[in-house]
Chain A
Amino acid sequence: MHRIGLDLGTSYSKGVLVTSDNRIAAYLAVKTGYDFKSAAKKIIDFLSEKNEIEYPIYSCGYGREQIDGAYLANSEITALARAVFAKYQQALEVIDIGGQDTKYIRISATGRVEKFKLNRKCAAGTGAFLEEIAFRLDIVPEKFDELAGQATESIKLNSYCTVFAVSEILGLIKQGISLPNIILGIYNSIIKRCEEMAPLQNALVLTGGIPDKHAKIVQLFKEIYPGTTSPDLSQFLAAYGCVLLNKKQVYCK
C-alpha cells in the first residue's frame, strides 16, 4: 500500500506517492488556482491511478484542510524540516522560497526545529515577486536563468515592496541598463531578502519552487555560501515530510 503526501500551497499544489519503505514513487505539481479541493483531487486521482493507496492523506500548506476524505494535517514548516533532516541527517538551515512566502528553518543535529521565521508582510523575494516582474517585463519566468547568465554586472534593487521594486526596475530600463543585468539584480535581491531573515551559516539547503525552477539562484547562493545544496524536486519535500511525520504533531484544525 502507498501513502500520499500533499502540500497545498497558494500558488502550486504538490503531491507525492510514497512506498511502504518511504521512497517517493511518483509526484505531481498542479497550479492551485482558486479551488484547493479540486487541486487536491487532481493530484490524488493521478497518484492513485495505478497504485492502491491508503488513507488518511497526509497534508500541509495553506489548503491542508481542503481535502475530500480522511486527511491528517500538519504545519508545512514542521513537515519540510522532517523531510530535509531525513535526507541529510545533520544540523542545517533551510531556506524555502515558495509562491507567497519565504521560510527560514534552523534544524539541530538531532532533527529538532530550533528556530524558524516567515517573510514579513511583503511579497518581495518570493515567487509572486518574480511572476509580477515577468508579467511587467513581458518575459516568461523560464527565460530568467538564461538572461541572468548573460549579465555583465548586477544592479542593486533597494525596494522592499514588490510594487516599488517594479517601478525601480522600470526606472533602470529607462536609464538603459541591460535586461540581463537587471534580471541578475532581481535574483540577488531575492538572496538579500533571505539574508535579512537570519544570519546564515554554511550548511544551507534551498527548497521550494523558486530554487527548483531557477537553478541560477542556487548557483548564486553557492558563490556566497559554498556549502549550499538544493536537492532535486525540492518543492515536493514538504509533501513528503507530511508522510514521514505520520501523525499529527500538535492539534491543527
Chain B
Amino acid sequence: MSDGNGIRKLESVVRLKKTMGDYFTRLRQAAESPGRRVAWCSSVGPVELLYAMDFEVYFPENHAAMIGVSKKAAEYIPITNAYGYSPDVCSYLTSDIGAFLKQQTPLAKMGLESVPKPDVLVYNTNQCREVADWFNFYAKHFNVPIMGISTPLNVAEVSQSLVRYISLQFQELVPKLEPVTAEKFDPDKFKNTVRLSKETCALWRKVLATAKHHPSPINFFDACIHMGPIVVMRGTRYALDYYKVLLAELETRIKNNAAAVASEKYRLYWEGMPIWFKLSTMAKLFDRLQTCIAASTYCSSWIFDDLDPENPFDSSALAYTKLFIVRSENVKQKILEKHLQEFSIDGIIYHDAKTCPRNSNNQHGLQVRLYEKTDVPYLEIDGDFNDSRCYSEEQSVIAIETFIDQLAMRK
C-alpha cells in the first residue's frame, strides 16, 4: 500500500490501532470500575511488576506524545509555563500538565473523557528526574501515593552492587503497592510478566533488526508509531501477539524486497527524540530525499534483553539500568558505533531537543568523537519533541537537504 509519495504504509497498522484501542478500553473500564486499580508509570518504569499486581497501567509519556502528534502541545505548554514550570523543562511534562489544566485530552478519541484517575504513581528516574517532578504534580492533585526507583546517571559499568541497590528498590515497591491493590503479591505472576516482557522485547528487537536489510522494510517514522505496544503493554500477551503480526509482515516485505522508502539510496541514524508534531512531514521529506532512517536510539530503547523470569527483581534492575540513557558517554559511543555498523549507516542526525538534554547526545562532544572514530558524517538540528517554538522548519529542511547533498558527494 502506498500513499502516492513512495511511502508504503504497513498493513499491520490496522491491528496496531485495534491493539492500542483495546488497551485504552481496558484503561477506561478500570477507571470506571470501583474494584479495579490504575497505576501511572514512567515509560521505562517497573511496568512488569505493576501488571503482575493486576493494575491497569497508564503512561503519561505516551499521552504527552499523543498530544505532540495531535499538534496541540503549543496550546498547552504556555498554560503550564504560566503555572510555574519553566519553558526550558521537559515539554512532555509541560504539554501534559497544560492539557490537564485545560481539561482536554487526545484520549477523547478513544472514548476516555479524561486521563484515567490514578490509584498510585510509580516512576524510575533512569530516564530523567523530570518524571518524578511530573508525577508529583498529579500525586498532589489526586492525593494518591507516589513511589519510585532512584537510578544514578552517567553509569559506566552496571556493577553488581549497583544492581543490588536498584533491585532492593524494586522489592521495596511491593509492600507499598500491596495496600493499593488490596491483594497479596504473587511471585509467579511477576515471573510470568517478566517472561512475557522478555519475549516481547526479543520480538521488538527482531522488528527493528529487519532494517538491516537493504532496502529496509521499516523506517524510524514507522517504528515511532509501532512502538506503542512495547511501551505501554510489555509484560502482557497483547504486545507479544501484536509484534508477531508486525514481524511477519516485515519478513514478507524482505522476501519481496519491498522497501519502507521506495527508492532508498541513503541510510541514516536518528539520535534523539522524534519531533512528534512533524512526524508525517518529516517522513515525506526523507522519502523525497530517497533516504531511509533505518535505526534510532529512541526506538531501540525498549529492548530489555537482560530480563530473566527466574530472577525477576535482579534482572529487572539490571535491564532497566543498562539502558542507553542511563549510561556514560563512552558506553553510549560504543553502542552507537555498533548500530552504525550493523545498519550500514551513511550519516547521523542528532536532534538537539531543547527541553530534553538527557535525550540530546550532541551536547558533550559525543558527535565529534564518534565522527572521528567512524568517519560517518553527522548533522545537528535544533528542535524539540513537543515544543514547536523551539523548531525552525525552514532552517531544518535546508540543513537536511544539504546534508543529503553532502552524503551524495561522498558516494
Q: Which residues of A contact B (CB under 8 A)?
A: 62, 74-78, 101, 112-118, 120-121, 249-253
Contacts of B392 in A (CB 8 A): 121
Interface flags for B384-411 (1: CB within 8 Å of A; 0: not) read 0000001010110011011011101110
Residues of A within 8 A of B410 (CB): 112
B408 x A249 contact (CB < 8 A): yes
With A75-B401, A78-B402, A250-B404 known as contacts, the answer to whether A113 contacts B409 (CB < 8 A) is: yes
| Chain A positions within 8 Å of B405 at CB level | 74-75, 77-78, 113, 249-250
A78 to B400, CA, bound (A): 11
Which residues of chain B are within 8 angstroms of A121 by Cβ–Cβ distance? 354, 382, 390, 392
Decide yes or no whether B288 CB sits under 8 A from chain A: yes
> In whole angstroms, how far apart are the Cα atoms of A78 and B404 in the complex?
10
Task: Tell me which residues across on chain A come within 8 A of B395, comparing CB atoms.
Answer: 101, 118
Give the distance to chain A from B395, nearest Cβ to Cβ, in Å.
6
Which of A101, A120, A252, A253 is most buried by chain B, counting CB atoms within 10 A of its CB? A252
Q: Which of B289, B382, B399 contacts A251 (CB 8 A)?
A: B289
Residues on A with beta carbons closer than 8 Å to the beta carbon of B309: none
Q: Is the CB of A77 within 8 A of B288?
A: no
Asked if B290 is an interface residue, CB under 8 A from chain A, the answer is yes
How many contacting A-B pairs (Cβ < 8 A)?
54
Residues of A within 8 A of B354 (CB): 121
Cα-based distance from A101 to B382 in the complex (angstroms)? 14
**Residues of A close to B289: CB separation below 8 A:** 250-251
Within the complex, which residue of A77, A101, A114, A250 is in contact with B290, where a contact is CB–CB below 8 Å? A250
Contact B409 A252 (CB under 8 A): no
Complex alpha-carbon distance, A249 and B408, angstroms = 8
Query: B409, A77: Cβ atoms under 8 Å?
Result: no
Query: In the assembly, what is the distance between CA of A121 and CA of B387, in Å?
Result: 14
> When the two chains form their complex, are residues B382 and A116 in contact, meaning their CB atoms are under 8 A apart?
no
In chain A, what residue has the closest Cβ to B290? A251
Query: Who on chain A is nearest to B395 by CB?
Result: A118
Please determine whether A113 and B382 come into contact, CB atoms closer than 8 angstroms: no
Q: State which of A62, A75, A101, A251 has its C-beta within 8 Å of the C-beta of B402.
A: A75
Give the distance to chain B from A227, nearest Cβ to Cβ, in Å: 24
A43 to B26, CA, bound (A): 63
A62–B394 alpha-carbon span in the complex (Å): 7
- Of the residues B380, B394, B401, contact of A250 by C-beta under 8 Å: B401
Nearest B residue to A252 via CB reads B401
CB of B377 within 8 Å of the partner chain: yes
Complex: A121 Cα to B355 Cα, angstroms: 14
Once A75-B398, A101-B395 are accepted as A-B contacts, the answer to whether A120 and B406 lie under 8 Å apart by CB is no
Q: Lowest 4 CB-CB distances: which A-B pairs, in order?
A: A75-B402, A77-B402, A250-B404, A78-B405
Measured in the bound complex, the distance between the Cα atoms of B130 and A74 in whole Å is 42
What DSSP secondary structure best describes chain A's contact surface? Answer: loop
Per-residue 0/1 for B352-385: is the Cβ within 8 Å of any A Cβ (1 yes, 0 no)?
0010000000000000000000000100101000
Q: Which residues of B contact A75 (CB under 8 A)?
A: 398, 401-402, 405
In the bound assembly, the distance between CA atoms of A78 and B398 in angstroms comes to 10
Question: Among the listed A118, A249, A250, A252, which residue makes an inter-chain contact with B399, where contact means beta carbons less than 8 Å apart?
Answer: A118
Q: B382 touches which one: A62, A120, A253 (CB < 8 A)?
A: A120
Q: A113-B409, A251-B289, A251-B290 are in contact. Are A76 and B382 (CB under 8 A)?
A: no
Chain A residues lying within 8 Å of B409, measured Cβ to Cβ, are 112-113
- Closest-CB distance, A83 to chain B (whole angstroms): 14
Please give, as numbers and ranges, the residues of chain B lying within 8 Å of A251 by CB-CB distance: 288-290
What are the residues of chain B within 8 A of A74 when measuring CB–CB? 405
Q: Are A116 and B288 in contact (CB under 8 A)?
A: no
Chain A residues closer than 8 Å to B288, beta-carbon distance? 251-253
Min Cβ gap A81→B in Å is 9
Most buried by A among B354, B392, B402, B408: B402
25 example contacts (A-B, Cβ-Cβ < 8 A) are as follows A75-B398, A75-B401, A75-B402, A77-B398, A77-B399, A78-B405, A78-B406, A101-B395, A112-B406, A112-B409, A112-B410, A113-B406, A115-B406, A116-B399, A116-B406, A118-B395, A120-B382, A121-B354, A250-B404, A250-B405, A250-B408, A251-B289, A251-B290, A252-B288, A253-B288
Closest to A62 in B: B394
CB distance from A9 to the nearest CB of B (A): 11
Besides the known contacts A75-B398, A249-B404, 6 further A-B residue pairs in the complex with CB atoms under 8 A apart: A62-B398, A115-B377, A115-B406, A118-B399, A249-B405, A251-B290
| A118, B398: Cα distance in complex, Å | 10
Closest to B401 in A: A75
How far is it, in angstroms, between the C-alpha of A101 and the C-alpha of B290 when the chains are bound? Answer: 27
- Say how far B4's CB is from chain A's closest CB, in angstroms: 15
Q: How far is the CB of B213 from chain A (nearest CB, A)?
A: 23
Across the interface, which residues of B come within 8 angstroms of A252, CB to CB?
288, 401
Cα distance A75–B398 in the bound complex, in angstroms = 6
Q: Which residue of chain A has the shortest Cβ distance to B397 in the bound complex?
A: A253
What distance in Å separates the Cβ of A115 from its nearest Cβ neighbour in chain B?
7
Smallest CB separation, A71 vs chain B (Å): 15
Docked complex Cα distance between A68 and B342 (Å): 46
- The distance from the CB of B217 to the nearest CB of chain A, in whole angstroms, is 22
Q: Are A76 and B406 in contact (CB under 8 A)?
A: no
